[in-house]
Amino acid sequence: MSDTTSSFTLIKAATLLAGPLVFLIILTTVEIEGLSTGATQVIALALWMVIWWMTEAVPLPVTALLPLILFPILDIFSTAEAAAPYASPIVFLFMGGFLIALAMEKRNLHTRIALNIISVTGTHANGIILGFMMATAFLSMWISNTATAVMMLPIALSVVDLLQDSKEGSLPSKGYRRFALSLMLGIAYAANIGGTTTIIGTPPNVVFLGYMQEFYQRDMEFGRWLFIGIPVCITLLTITYLLMTKVLFPHGLSKLAGSDHLIKDKLSELGPMSRAEQLVAAIFFLTAACWIFQSSINDLLGGDYLDNTIVAMAGGVLMFITPTSLKRQEFVLDWKSTERLPWGILLLFGGGLCLAKGMESSGIVQLVGDKIAGSSEISLWLLLLLLTTFMLFMTELMSNVALTVIFLPVVLGIADSLGVNPLYLAIPVTLAASCAFMMPISTPPNAVVFSSGHIRMFDMVKAGFFLNLISILVLLLVGLTLVRWVYG
């Protein structure tokens, strides 16, 4: 065994042991003034989970199962009470969204949508970058950010290879490199930004929804969220495009010969829309319409018949029961396809909600909120700036889902202690969790495009740093103006 392998094994063993060791030390030696024994136990477990989440000593979903095991043993909750958050409506909301996304991917509807969007923006170099960013952002509103980036990358690489083989390849290599760099970064950043647009677009948004139901029994309407998500997406997407193509990495290239034929060829390869693809599109648009016009439909029916979870699961179930061929007993989606469903994310949501429930019921969230809110006469805008900045730069270093699970209850506790609408702080902080632009390890889309070989670490850090600062300002304005306007 090499020295490198031995060192890695020792580090892995140390991080694996660090979590339970800290847990035991706090349980046996630490007494926190103002907190009950149960609250100390919850803090001990939370630190164990934070250590494992930050170091990824074990898979994130495995860590999320600890509250289900330890809360009943520690007499924090009964087994039934500890298990309840793992079956939260929010978990099934995201599950329904995953099923719809799986059907889109299985029938290649997402590829057709992407190629058609790209074809609209023309064959100018910057138009191609804009087209890829728009297509990526739109798809990320509905399907996994990672899956979107994985799908868009080979199409983008084909365009880059076309440039290299064409007469444009005779241009200075700096222009070619900058075009490829902007295209790759544009895909990653658009995937992250696009996910913020809808309440199901990215896991941190769904964690936020879960906490609003858990702490305030408040259901966030899909349509109303769009009044925040769409302006944020358009603003950040526009700034990202202009920053990369006009300021940081201007490439000087014009029309790319043959790129229009490349896109048309890829569309031709798909052929005409199959019956299965048409059915997926119909169910997808029906589901989206029910989400967006949910309140109007309920008013028309005279009751609260629809909510986000019911719509999502109905859309998912329709994929399984809508036949593409009764004779062959084939349906839009089959159960085997669910092998690719990210079940671990659903467990992660459940574990996060269970931990948050323990922190809330034991008084930890309120105590932390009181301490921070009462420590100084801090203005709301400065507090929002500090919380958003902390979230945004911390998510560069650890899972944005895990960080949202840990940090958002504290933010809600601070809001309650200050007596302000929790949405004023929680929504910008939640959106900040998806604005990780600096590092390949920050989000899966960043890692996907970094693997292309067209991005240097320095370039990603440089572009990401400026985008992080801009995102903080945008989210600060969102919290102080847009959230107030939408939610009162």
Angstrom CA distances, 281 to 103, 113, 226, 277, stand at 9, 10, 21, 6
pTM, two decimals, is: 0.76
d(CA 481, CA 354): 32
* Residue at a domain's end among 340, 366, 393: 340
What is the SS3 assignment for 436?
coil
Question: What letter represents residue 427's amino acid?
Answer: I
Partners of 331 in beta bridges? 323
Domain presence at residue 247: yes
Structure tokens at 210: 């879960």
Domain-embedded: residue 77: no
Residues ≥6 apart with Cβ < 8 Å to 279: 322, 324, 332
pLDDT for res 189: 93
Same domain for 177 and 215, yes or no, is: yes
- pLDDT digits 0-9 by tens, 219-258: 888 888 999 999 999 999 999 999 999 988 887 777 666 6
Q: How would residue 427 be classed by pLDDT, with cut points 50, 70 and 90?
A: very high
What's the confidence (pLDDT) of residue 51? 86
180 & 306 share domain: yes
Confidence (pLDDT) at 163: 65
pLDDT in tens, 161-220: 766 655 444 444 777 788 888 999 999 999 999 989 998 888 889 889 888 888 888 888
Q: What is the mean pLDDT of residues 135-151?
A: 83
Of the listed ranges 64-73, 116-125, 238-247, the least confidently predicted one is 116-125
Reported as a pLDDT band with limits 50, 70 and 90, residue 313 is: very high
- Give dist(CA 357, CA 87) in Å, integer: 13
**In terms of pLDDT, which residue wins out, 314 or 263?**
314
On whether both 193 and 312 belong to a single domain, the answer is yes
Q: Over pLDDT 90: what percentage of the chain? A: 23
Residue 4: per-residue pLDDT: 57
DSSP 3-state assignment of 369?
Answer: helix
Average per-residue pLDDT for the chain:
83
Distance CA 79, CA 76 (A): 10
42 and 165 share one domain: no
Domains: count for the chain: 2
Could you identify the residue written with the tokens 């939260």? Answer: 88
Domain housing 17: 1-63
* 151 found inside a domain: yes
**Which has more pLDDT, 9 or 4?**
9
Residue 152 is predicted with a pLDDT of 80
- Cα–Cα nearest to 173, from 253, 248, 259: 253
Are 125 and 52 contained in the same domain?
no
Exposed, middle or buried: residue 419 (CB in 10 Å: 0-12, 13-18, 19+)?
exposed
Q: Is residue 39 part of a domain?
A: yes
Residue 197: phi and psi, rounded to 5, are: -70, -40
Residue 323 pairs in a beta bridge with 331
Indicate the residue among 288, 321, 340 that finishes a domain.
340
194 neighbors 443 (Cβ within 8 angstroms): no
Q: Round to whole Å and give the CA distance between 255 and 167.
A: 11
Q: Are 132 and 156 in contact, with CB atoms under 8 Å apart? A: yes
Is residue 3 very low, low, confident or very high in pLDDT (cuts 50, 70, 90)? low
Domain final position from 63, 79, 107:
63
Of 424, 429, 438, give the one whose Cα is nearest residue 405: 429
Q: Is position 321 within any domain?
A: yes
The two structure tokens encoding residue 405: 């699970």
pLDDT for 278: 92
Inside any domain, residue 307: yes
How far apart (Å, rounded) are the C-alpha atoms in residues 263 and 272?
15
Residues 114, 2 share a domain: no
- DSSP letter at 65 equals T
Asked if residue 304 and residue 240 are part of one domain, the reply reads: yes
Both 164 and 307 in a single domain?
A: yes
Same domain, 5 and 138: no
Task: Indicate the Cα dihedral angle 194, 197, 203, 206, nearest 10°.
Answer: -170
* 108 in the same domain as 47: no
Q: Which amino acid is at 173?
A: S
Q: How far apart are CA 229 and CA 93, in angstroms?
A: 18
Please indicate, yes or no, whether residues 129 and 53 belong to a single structural domain of this protein.
Answer: no
Q: Give the number of other CB atoms < 10 A from CB of residue 216.
A: 12
Q: Would 178 be classed as within a structural domain?
A: yes
| Whether residue 172 is found in the same domain as residue 43 | no
End-to-end CA distance of the chain: 62
If you average pLDDT over residues 263-280, what whole number do you get? Answer: 85
Report d(CA 228, CA 206) in Å as an integer.
15
**Alpha-carbon distances, residue 62 vs 51, 125, 168, 326, 350 (angstroms):** 13, 45, 50, 40, 11
Residue in the structure block whose two tokens are 């919290």: 479
Q: Which residue has the tokens 């829309």?
A: 273
